[in-house]
Chains A and B, each alone.
Chain A
Amino acid sequence: MDVLFVFLISIGAGGFGALVGIGGGLIIVPVLTLLLDVPIKTAIAASLIGVIATSMSATAHYLDAGLADRRLGLVLLVATAAGGVTGGLIGGYLDPRILAAIFGTLLILVALQMLRQRRSTHAPVPPDPEAAGFTSSYVEPTDGSEVSYRVHRLPLGTAASFVAGNVSGLLGVGGGVINVPTMNVAMGVPIRVATSTSTYMLGPTAAASAILYFAAGALDPLLAGPVALGVFIGARAGARLQARVSQGTLQLAFIGVALVFAAQMFLRVVTS
């Protein structure tokens, strides 16, 4: 396999993932599997290394900027990391065709969620005054004002985090597609903090599963290296470009690509 080609494709996947806001994993796994014929477990393991590398770099920035809520992130991390271990374990035992089918289903669900977001805006669920929670704050970088918020529905967030960890470990994607909407819509966390805190949680979560894939011999460093480097570079470039390109067009492009990938994944399940 041409390592340079993998590196260049990973830059594109990381960039596109960052532009659409879903991370590189949802793109790189089908690209490696469908275009380069990499076994799906090896593609998932390589993607996990990319997820950790991207999370490490972005978290350092978010912590310095005071945007990641570590108190909340640590509590939810207990659930996501445990989910990452079980997801990695289950992923190791599952038939590759079942993994491909689950991945195809996830692609369709994310595409549908994106389509729904384009049509409506979700207002955060109002806080439950009876529910336990804690207050926190962050400094909004656009105007320097201090924004206070109250975190609530922690049990729901913990359950969703466990599911997110499982999805991450099983499919090699960041759990952000589950964590961010849960924190923002259900737990009352501002979107900027939800995104940063989710990124903070991704590294240890993906590490919990990557260890299992590595020990099982599914992690190929010569594939994971260029994937991690490429996704990392692409994600940084994508994040810089994000404000300059039309989100609507990008989301439509992703929906189209996701549906094509999903169809090919299911086709592979049927024909292999």
Chain B
Amino acid sequence: MNAYGSTVNELIDQFAKLPGIGKKSAERIAYHFLRCSREEAFALADAIRQVKLKIHACPNCFNLTEDKLCQICADPRRDPRILCVVEQPRDLLALEAAGAFQGMYHVLQGRIAPLEGIGPEQLTIDQLVNRIKRDQVRELIMATNPTLEGDGTSLYISNVLEGTGVKITRLARGIASGSVLEFANKEMLADAMRGRQSF
């Protein structure tokens, strides 16, 4: 039975496609927009339209931007010869929030996941290699997720760059500051031991 009519059903279907939104939540949101003012509803529709019209990938680093270059690429204080490679723009934001890095980024737009049909050609690896040559990058920091596929993506890139002379590093792993050794799991401790550094 078509209880809501096709227009409302279409709205519910569109909301139900959003991440984390099920059918019930989609219905609640749809009813919220049926009750709210036209201005409020159109403001959301307009915001979605503007995002899709204005936001694009930065041609240099593939971060999201609404200008020609993203804020980081356009910042002359950043060191273009140190590149940090991340999977997604969200990873870049997390690293930027830490405020500990003054180089530039390269967003891969995913990770190599052959079992899901994602190969290196679907990522921005070719553009990364060209950028490294063009900008004479001296250090590449691999900040892919510390998963088998994330590490595999880093390994693929390091193999591609073999012989270029670029120093390739990766983010440290192990025990978080302020934690207690006794309660750290053995994987963390093993990572910390392998990645120990001079005091």
On whether the two chains bind one another, the answer is no
Binding site for B on A (CB under 8 A): none
Q: Which B residues contact A (CB, under 8 angstroms)?
A: none
